[in-house]
Structure 1
Amino acid sequence: MPTGYIFDVEFCWGFQACIAGLSKTSPSFYYPPPTTVLGAIAETLAKEYKIGEDKGRELIPKLSEELLALGVRPLNCTPMRYEDINRRIAVKVTGGKLYPDPKDLKGSFDSPASGKTILSTLDENAPKLRFFAVFNDCEVSFRNLKVRLNENAFWKIHRIGTKESIVSVSEVKKIEKLSVVNGPVKTNYSFPKLDGIKPIKKLQDRWEYENYVNPFRIKKYNPIDYHLKEGEIVTYYIPIMSSSLFSRTPEYYVALEKYICYIYSDERIIGRWSK
């Protein structure tokens, strides 16, 4: 039976979501990509089961297999994307010379731009996002272990993105009885543009578009490979909250054919059918 988790996350300043293996400019995103959120969950599970950070990354494809839906919506903030210049040690060969070189410190550094996102609060509280995840089964097999997903995995999330992207989880709800609708629906969460999901009308005009790695098709942990392969990237519709519309929740009217909408109270997220 599908199980849902709704968790509210407070951000210190915002976040940075780097693409592992992309040495130059990393893009900035409106919100943490779905795969980044799966990585944050996998990190807490790896610690709980003493798997280790490197091996723990292999949990991401396992979670992807059971993932039915994953979306985000703002509660009191709006994203501001930008890039800044950072001085980094450069591992390279230039003119037949290997860098970094202690005899040539100036040539041993590079200054690539790094994409970051500030979450600007619209009230006096810390910027907060709400995530809604639905899993087909909360237990996955990992080597010789049975790794079980529960509320503690979400409470223990301390960063979403790079190590500077510090967060604090303020609320977690586990939903074991989800309502489902397979006709036209209104959703207030980010959703993918896939065959069988047809956006009809914006019910609030602050929606943007962003490309992410498809979180439902992760077969192995290789982020840069997925970003370069055609067919592995999917466009997501992203709800944006503005100061003039702060009291209104961004909504989109969507027609569904091969997908369904999972509902809990006023929370409505589009996802796959249960296996």
Structure 2
Amino acid sequence: MPELPEVETVMRGLKPALEGRRIEGVLLKRPGLRFPFPERFAERLTGRTITSLSRRAKYILVSLDSGDILLIHLGMTGRFTVLSPAGARNLGEFYFEAGAGEGGEGSHDHVVLGLDDGTRVIYTDPRRFGVMDIFPEDETTSHKLLAGIGVEPLGNAFSAEYLADRFRGKAAPLKAALLDQHVVAGLGNIYVCEALYRAGLSPRRKARTLVRRKGHDPRLNALVHHIREVLSDAIAAGGSTLQDFAHTDGEAGAFQQRFLVYDREGESCQRCGRKIARLVQSGRSTFYCRKCQS
């Protein structure tokens, strides 16, 4: 499933093609994705101008001049293909598997948006775990998929003091605490593994052990720094390609070439030479160095 850097990459790639454009037509090729499309979905999109795109956690938010928000989650295999008026794919491609049909007629092409300049935006999703919803902008913080989500890890509210407050009394392993979307928005398995390695913290450590009666363990400052750093590095690299993800110029994300621990079980730690270990936490693989992370 795409994590924050991949969703950010897709959102940034869609911006130049969508912002300021009017949606002239909406083709829904099935009644829904993971959930049914909301009532009057196509009607509420048709004729509206896209004013801006943003990201919240792992969701893309498309603001419309009607005051509505189009919410998009890519699920496991969702991607967008943007076709220019001439049919050429020169405005960006966003893949997790094989490309969309040239006219949106592919068997896994489920939503086609026609824009006022002739551009077509095709949403393709073989496993149909993606989500699309539309709702009034003033319901953003209360929407069922967005309510209670924690702070953005690249935002000003994310700090060691914030984590200390959320970790106080928490017996959960540090990795599980960071993956809790109510604590930090958008963090996923890959980047938590990498950030914990950079910070020298064990994924098995109890989150509360980094909290002091007054204040916090200085290693929380390092953790915040490395979370920001690994996410920024991944976004700059266009995300990580584990299957067939590609970013705006059609090239694969490159951050997987910089993994220090993720998916490197049995390989040598670049710091101490000890073998990278793997364990399963909450059904997910965790990769770490037993010597360098404590």
Structure showing the higher helix proportion among its residues = 2
TM-score by length of 1: 0.23
Structure showing the higher strand proportion among its residues = 1
